[in-house]
Amino acid sequence: MKAYRASLLWFAPHSEGPAKALFEKDGLLVVGPDSTGLQVVQAIGSWRALSERFAQVPTEHLLGRIIAPGFVDLHVHFPQTNVIGSPASGLLPWLENYTFPEEKRFASNEYSAESATFFVDELLRNGVTTALAFATSHSTSVNALFSEAQRRSLRLITGLCLMDRHAPADLLNQPASGSRVDATEQSLLDSEALIQRWHGQGRLGYAITPRFAPTSTDAQLRGAGELAARHGDVWIQSHVAENKDEIAWARELFPQSRSYLATYADFGLMRKRAVYAHCIHFDDDDRALMRDTGASAAVSPTSNLFLGSGFFDYAGADRAGFTYGLASDVGGGTSFSPFHTMLAAYYVGREGQTKQGLSLSPQQLWWQHTAGAGAVLGVKGADGQALVGNLLPGCEADFVVLNPQATPLLARKTSVAASLDELLFSMIVLGDDRLVERTVISQGLSS
């Protein structure tokens, strides 16, 4: 066991309502192994209440520091690290001119491995301890990212990008050499093999990953839905309703479905543990479909602002009651930093010309990138408690140590914060990787 004395930020259980932050200025966090050897939170609370009970436990004193849950990135593209900051007139030209050419490079084992190391370093430097990530259509990229995450004990979910049309030929899923199985069928067999190899290994999970409906045939989406039905505990990830031209294209290709989103439902790809990036241009029937199927949105505000895609309608989502959390969407997104993402989410919430504008509280923003995003992923213990994105007893001990004095301006601003909301907002608005002094990962299963 090990204890940390510091200021502590975490969230009340979901049953007490969303986004209720708890804060102890002088707190104690105690971590120790669970029955499998994974480090989990044993106790959290005020130093005064807990110090006697844990007097024998070695304690690290982190004066002036804030310990908070590790961030959860609900949608990020590992092969798009080099694509950050590539300007285009919109999503489709951006894919064609920058993203697809870069993703072709991941056919190489060496390039995939080097990129995976850099990517995981960057997540951890920014305080991200759980990610639902896209790889490319090459198994090499999936194996490289899983291997690196396993080596570092990161909780990571990824999968083979399914794409059997409308992309450059060498980026489409390929048939196996000498096999009579076609590329579409092979992509599903490869997904199945990757599930068997990686899903549930330590902290790794598999996501069935059709890139988006326009780059899959009916047969591939149908197969992906069948795979999802056979493996109820794997995740599903894709993109939807991001950009007007994308939507028009998806409607042309799948006219039989009621809407672009409904296309996924029609192929059996909407359920709990299905996470759709963007979800911007929805009507109320789409929102109801999200709620009724249990699917969730990965809100990707820096990406949506950078690519000019639009503004996620928070009030609409809450009115319907579907779940969502925050995501960087690197490389459409412009930053790995959860602080940049939370600030962009605030701007997106404020926007009031295309939908109702509102002012998200700093507790809501922080929750959407930690416990709220953890709830979306649905990693739960035997008692049904979410294990990721929070520091309640039993949660996996993934956390960040924040230094609110990290820059002169942060030090000046946080020192005059008169409330928890003011403190959190100061960090959201002024923070970046410099604020994250240390990222601690719950070691155990894979070591």
Q: Contact residues for Zn ion (CB under 5 A)?
A: 277, 329
Residue 6, CA distances (Å) to 40, 57, 59, 65, 358 in order: 18, 15, 10, 6, 33
Residue 211 binding result from Zn ion, ligand GUN, none, given CB thresholds of 5 to 8 Å by partner type = ligand GUN
What's the DSSP call for residue 271? S
- Give me the least distance between CB of 84 and ligand GUN, in Å please: 12
Residue 99 binding result from Zn ion, ligand GUN, none, given CB thresholds of 5 to 8 Å by partner type = ligand GUN
Residue 421 parent element (H or E):
helix 420-430
Residue 91 binding result from ligand GUN, Zn ion, none, given CB thresholds of 5 to 8 Å by partner type = ligand GUN
Q: Describe the crossing of helices 183-198 and 139-152 by its angle, rounded to 10 degrees.
A: 10
Burial status of residue 197 (CB atoms within 10 A of its CB: 0-12, 13-18, 19 or more): middle
- Give me the least distance between CB of 332 and ligand GUN, in Å please: 3
Query: Contact between 239 and ligand GUN (CB under 6 A)?
Result: yes
- Residues 6 or more apart whose Cβ sits within 8 Å of residue 390: 10, 11, 69, 370, 371, 374
Near ligand GUN in 27-86, by CB under 6 A: 77
Query: Contact between 404 and ligand GUN (CB under 6 A)?
Result: no
Of 99 and 341, the one with the shorter C-beta distance to ligand GUN is 99
Of 24 and 329, the one with the shorter C-beta distance to Zn ion is 329
Near ligand GUN in 81-100, by CB under 6 A: 91, 95, 99
User: In this structure, what token pair is assigned to residue 356?
Assistant: 């109702």
Q: Describe the crossing of helices 420-430 and 338-350 by its angle, rounded to 10 degrees.
A: 110
Query: Contact between 211 and ligand GUN (CB under 6 A)?
Result: yes
Near ligand GUN in 309-368, by CB under 6 A: 329, 332
Distance from C-alpha of 374 to C-alpha of 246, rounded to nearest angstrom: 29
Of 124 and 298, the one with the shorter C-beta distance to ligand GUN is 298
Contact 446, 203 (CB under 8 A): yes
Q: Torsion angle, CA of 142/101/238/15, rounded to 10 degrees? A: 70
- Give me the residue whose beta carbon is nearest to ligand GUN: 332
Site string for ligand GUN, 153-192 (x = CB under 6 A): ----------------------------------------
Residues near ligand GUN (CB under 6 A) are: 77, 91, 95, 99, 211-212, 239, 242, 303, 329, 332
